[in-house]
A and B are shown apart, each in its own frame.
Chain A
Amino acid sequence: MTTKRAVDVMPGDCVRLASGREMNVTRIERDFLGLDNLICFVEDTQQCWFAHAVFVTDEVITVSQAAPLDT
């Protein structure tokens, strides 16, 4: 478990919210609601749909991280 800035979260990361809920981020919407300092993490799977909006500078707890891309 570690923390990173919200702007650095990637699809495939699992983040823990303040409530303790863990969400698997499958999509990230930037400039959310027309605000360039707001992004929205979306978990959109066959089991669950959930969205969580944060400021890009917020620190986010990541439970696990997406595998790095092969180069």
Chain B
Amino acid sequence: MGIYDLQLPALDGAVLDLAQFSGRATLVVNVASRCGFTPQYEGLQRLHERFEPRGFSVLGVPCNQFGEQEPSGPEEIAAFCSETYAVSFPLTAKLDVNGPHRHPLYRELTSTPDAEGRSGDVQWNFEKFLVSPEGRVVGRFRPVTEPESPELLTAIEDALTASE
């Protein structure tokens, strides 16, 4: 089973079928509202707007496993993202990305190494995984990598160009 065969709970309680991302490059990011990296929402939203016409989407995955920095319920998370950062990309319900209750999506993602060859647990909030239009994980970027950093922009361009 590939990544785009999975279904996730959306933040609004609906089913989020990842098949809708098939044929698009997708940046999957575990997010939190009270983290030092939370301002990265701005760059993520700009990425989403810039590349969406070419077949790209950001997918946010709220997670409370890092410093309890995503403690709120879905309505509060949605309001925070909308009102503070004008987020328009989809968000899942809160999920575990590490540990015994790790969501199957993250079982796939975390088997991918970063640029230094390290796979395994998500390090902290705002770790980024780039999934190709074919559903392959083609890049992993740690939280300190800004959304609009040269390496991430290059990886997105490469993923989109390969499918155009």
Contact A53 to B144, CB < 8 A, known contacts A48-B99, A48-B100: no
| B contact face: mostly helix, strand, loop, or mixed | loop
Chain A min CB distance to B64 (Å) = 9
A33 touches B124 (CB 8 A): yes
Tell me which residues across on chain A come within 8 A of B102, comparing CB atoms. Answer: 49
Partner of A17, one of B65, B68, B124: B68
A40: B residues at CB distance < 8 A:
124
Query: Given B67, B98, B124, B143, which contacts A49 in the complex, CB threshold below 8 Å?
Result: B98
Taking beta carbons and an 8 Å cutoff, which residues of A are in contact with B? 17, 19, 21, 33-34, 40, 44-53
A-B contact pairs, 11 of them (CB 8 A): A33-B144, A34-B144, A40-B124, A48-B100, A49-B96, A50-B65, A51-B66, A51-B67, A51-B98, A51-B124, A53-B66
| Residues of B in contact with A (beta carbons under 8 Å apart) | 65-68, 96, 98-102, 121, 123-124, 142-144
